[in-house]
């Protein structure tokens, strides 16, 4: 007679304690090895030598922290923070209790043993963001976690939570944002007094969540700024102008402004602009002809910008200059486009749109070395709306209307790494967003400084240039709908 299957099953209760200890030690080799290394060092080298080595390591860490803060913050700080969080915020007992509270634990049907989803990895890219990699137990799914995500956020003390599928089966990623480091409105960037105080490689925009100045390089870059309506994109238009103020006044930097939204946002700063194209003038009849007189005015500004870029390239080639230096003779040219989608997808005829995209691609691929930068603002950053999206070298995402927009702007997995831009509340969080850089794919939470109308008026008062080659500054040209 066949032995019933059930009699062959292991009937013991929990996994034996020694086996569990061995498993834990294997999973935490660093923690396990540390006392062994320390003990062996004391026995073999003596307490004084071991103490000196430890003191030396601490000293090296402190020196690194003070001598090269940027690399310390990028490399050491997140790792140390992750270890601290792992052993404080998410230590075994409280992790288990949090999951029990949310009914996220299982039970082994044979042994009755409590099965707790295992915390595989804790990353803490910024002081307020934790990213957990979790292996869920048999019978669970991503859905089970997502169904109780509010309870889980409360149990883990987070304000915002996102739970997504991980890279492997049965692994999920939980991103937690703790607190709001920006509970006050941040003042706008200072207007430097003189040209030599302007740093085009570090244009001040606001604060980072670490309480540092948030600055981005514009010379040699193009910026894409994405955000839903009312997210505060305007502050990322006025801050760069403030930071470049004296250069604009001296015409060492020239601003070409395209505002297809009727000039509502940019009208106040019109005297600052070398070119200003807006859809304000609805009375102008636009003829979509082929002659130079009939060129779409928005396109005309773009074409002129492109032509100047070509001239500059020829000039640099002729003078064998490999590096561009801004000067009155060769100004740093900045094209700002408020609502890029109106140019690249939504406004104008199909032929105009495809021409716009071609010219933009040319500027974005060739302009940087010649001192031509593009700063564009967009609400919906999909590829069909902004085909040239990937050619921007610096990306910022303020509050977005959709979770999928975050990765489109900040790069693959940016949301998994903590950039929960779609979870930023609408009220009271304008100007808050995330940025990534080429060096690090870790998103940093930032808040832009806010320029009031008075701040804009101050900028115009202090930094209006006097153009004399092309007539009055800020020529308003209509946008063909």
Q: Which is nearer to ligand ATP, 227 or 263 (CB)?
A: 227
What are the φ/ψ torsions at residue 192 (nearest 5 degrees)? -60, 155
Q: Is 233 annotated as ligand-binding?
A: yes
- Cα–Cα dist 177/210, whole Å: 14
What's 474's DSSP letter?
S
- Residue 368 sits at the vertex; the CA angle it makes with 366 and 372, to the nearest 5 degrees, is 95
Q: Which is nearer to ligand ATP, 39 or 187 (CB)?
A: 187
Q: Which is nearer to ligand ATP, 89 or 242 (CB)?
A: 242
- Selected binder of ligand ATP within 73, 185, 215, 385 (CB under 6 A): 185
187 binds ligand ATP (CB under 6 A): no
With contact defined as beta carbons under 8 Å apart, do 277 and 348 qualify?
A: no
- Selected binder of ligand ATP within 98, 128, 175, 231 (CB under 6 A): 231
205 binds ligand ATP (CB under 6 A): no
- Residue 241 sits at the vertex; the CA angle it makes with 425 and 212, to the nearest 5 degrees, is 55
Q: Which is nearer to ligand ATP, 122 or 272 (CB)?
A: 272
Q: Which is nearer to ligand ATP, 140 or 379 (CB)?
A: 379
Q: Which residue is nearest to ligand ATP (CB)?
A: 431
What's 433's DSSP letter?
E
With contact defined as beta carbons under 8 Å apart, do 333 and 373 qualify?
A: yes
Stretch that binds ligand ATP, among 231-239, 273-281, 380-388, 455-463 (CB under 6 A): 231-239
- Selected binder of ligand ATP within 46, 59, 230, 472 (CB under 6 A): 230
- Cα–Cα dist 351/367, whole Å: 23
226 binds ligand ATP (CB under 6 A): no
Q: Is 383 annotated as ligand-binding?
A: no
Q: Is 231 annotated as ligand-binding?
A: yes
Q: Which is nearer to ligand ATP, 430 or 455 (CB)?
A: 430
- Cα–Cα dist 183/193, whole Å: 29
Alpha helices in 142-226 (DSSP H): 142-147, 149-155
Q: Which is nearer to ligand ATP, 223 or 450 (CB)?
A: 450
Q: Is 230 annotated as ligand-binding?
A: yes
- Selected binder of ligand ATP within 49, 107, 229, 365 (CB under 6 A): 229
- Token pair for residue 57? 């390591």
Q: Is 215 annotated as ligand-binding?
A: no
Shortest CB 381 distance to ligand ATP, Å = 13
The secondary structure of the chain in percent helix, strand, coil, rounded to multiples of 5, reads: 40, 20, 40
Q: Which is nearer to ligand ATP, 137 or 456 (CB)?
A: 456
E strand segments, 275-366 = 275-278, 332-338
Shortest CB 271 distance to ligand ATP, Å = 20
What's 365's DSSP letter?
H
End-to-end CA gap in the chain: 86
Stretch that binds ligand ATP, among 233-241, 313-321, 367-375, 414-422 (CB under 6 A): 233-241
* Binding residues for ligand ATP restricted to 235-294, rule: CB under 6 A: 235, 265
- Cα–Cα dist 457/360, whole Å: 31
Shortest CB 107 distance to ligand ATP, Å = 50
344 binds ligand ATP (CB under 6 A): no
With contact defined as beta carbons under 8 Å apart, do 257 and 220 qualify?
A: no
With contact defined as beta carbons under 8 Å apart, do 437 and 431 qualify?
A: no
- Selected binder of ligand ATP within 95, 405, 450, 479 (CB under 6 A): 450
Stretch that binds ligand ATP, among 74-82, 89-97, 228-236, 400-408 (CB under 6 A): 228-236
Shortest CB 389 distance to ligand ATP, Å = 17
Shortest CB 451 distance to ligand ATP, Å = 8
What are the φ/ψ torsions at residue 253 (nearest 5 degrees)? -125, 135
- Selected binder of ligand ATP within 125, 227, 381, 443 (CB under 6 A): 227
71 binds ligand ATP (CB under 6 A): no
Q: Which is nearer to ligand ATP, 130 or 259 (CB)?
A: 259
- Token pair for residue 471? 């007539």
Three-state SS across 218-270?
CCCCCEEEECCCCCCCCHHHHHHHHHCHHHHHCCCEEEEEEECCCCCCCHHHH
- Selected binder of ligand ATP within 234, 263, 433, 478 (CB under 6 A): 234
Shortest CB 129 distance to ligand ATP, Å = 20
* Binding residues for ligand ATP restricted to 425-444, rule: CB under 6 A: 430-431
- Cα–Cα dist 403/422, whole Å: 5
Shortest CB 447 distance to ligand ATP, Å = 6
Helices 29-45 & 47-67, crossing angle to 10 degrees? 130
The binding site comprises 227-234
- Residues in contact with ligand ATP by CB under 6 A are 185, 227, 229-235, 265, 379, 430-431, 448, 450
């Amino acid at each position: 007679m066949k032995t019933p299957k059930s009699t062959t099953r292991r009937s013991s209760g929990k996994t034996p304690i020694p086996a569990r200890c061995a498993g834990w030690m294997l999973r935490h080799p660093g923690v396990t090895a540390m006392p062994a290394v320390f003990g062996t060092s004391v026995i073999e080298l003596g307490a004084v030598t071991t103490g000196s080595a430890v003191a030396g390591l601490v000293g090296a860490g402190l020196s690194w922290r003070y001598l090269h803060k940027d690399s310390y913050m990028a490399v050491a700080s997140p790792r140390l923070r992750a270890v601290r969080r792992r052993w404080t915020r998410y230590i075994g007992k409280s992790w288990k209790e949090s999951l029990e509270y949310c009914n996220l634990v299982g039970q082994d049907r044979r042994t009755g043993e409590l099965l707790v989803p295992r915390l595989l990895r804790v990353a803490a890219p910024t002081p307020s963001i934790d990213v957990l990699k979790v292996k869920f137990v048999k019978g669970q799914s991503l859905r089970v976690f997502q169904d109780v995500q509010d309870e889980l956020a409360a149990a883990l003390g987070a304000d915002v939570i996102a739970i997504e599928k991980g890279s492997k089966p049965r692994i999920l990623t939980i991103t937690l944002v703790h607190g709001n480091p920006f509970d006050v409105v941040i003042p706008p960037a200072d207007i430097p007094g003189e040209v030599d105080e302007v740093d085009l490689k570090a244009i001040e925009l606001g604060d980072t969540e670490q309480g540092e100045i948030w600055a981005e390089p514009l010379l040699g870059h193009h910026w894409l700024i994405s955000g839903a309506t009312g997210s505060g994109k305007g502050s990322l238009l006025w801050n760069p102008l403030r930071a470049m103020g004296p250069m604009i006044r001296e015409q060492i930097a020239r601003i070409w402004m395209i505002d297809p939204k009727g000039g509502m946002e940019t009208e106040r700063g019109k005297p600052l602009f070398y070119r200003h194209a807006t859809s304000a003038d609805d009375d102008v009849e636009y003829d979509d002809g082929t002659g130079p007189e009939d060129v779409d005015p928005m396109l005309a500004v773009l074409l002129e910008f492109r032509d100047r870029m070509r001239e500059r390239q020829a000039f640099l080639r002729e003078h064998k200059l490999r590096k561009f230096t801004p000067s009155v003779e060769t100004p740093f040219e900045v094209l700002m486009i408020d609502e890029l989608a109106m140019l690249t997808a939504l406004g104008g005829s199909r032929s105009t749109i495809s021409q716009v995209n071609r010219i933009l691609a040319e500027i974005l691929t060739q302009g940087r070395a010649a001192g031509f930068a593009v700063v564009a603002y967009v609400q919906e950053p999909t590829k069909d709306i902004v085909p040239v999206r990937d050619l921007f070298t610096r990306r910022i995402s303020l509050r977005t209307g959709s979770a999928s927009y975050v990765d489109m702007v900040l790069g693959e997995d940016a949301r998994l790494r903590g950039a929960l831009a779609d979870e930023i509340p609408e009220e009271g969080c304008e100007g808050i967003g995330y940025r990534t850089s080429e060096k690090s794919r870790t998103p940093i939470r930032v808040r832009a400084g806010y320029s009031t109308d008075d701040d804009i008026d101050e900028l115009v008062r202090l930094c209006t240039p006097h153009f004399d080659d092309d007539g009055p500054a800020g020529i308003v040209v209509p946008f063909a709908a």
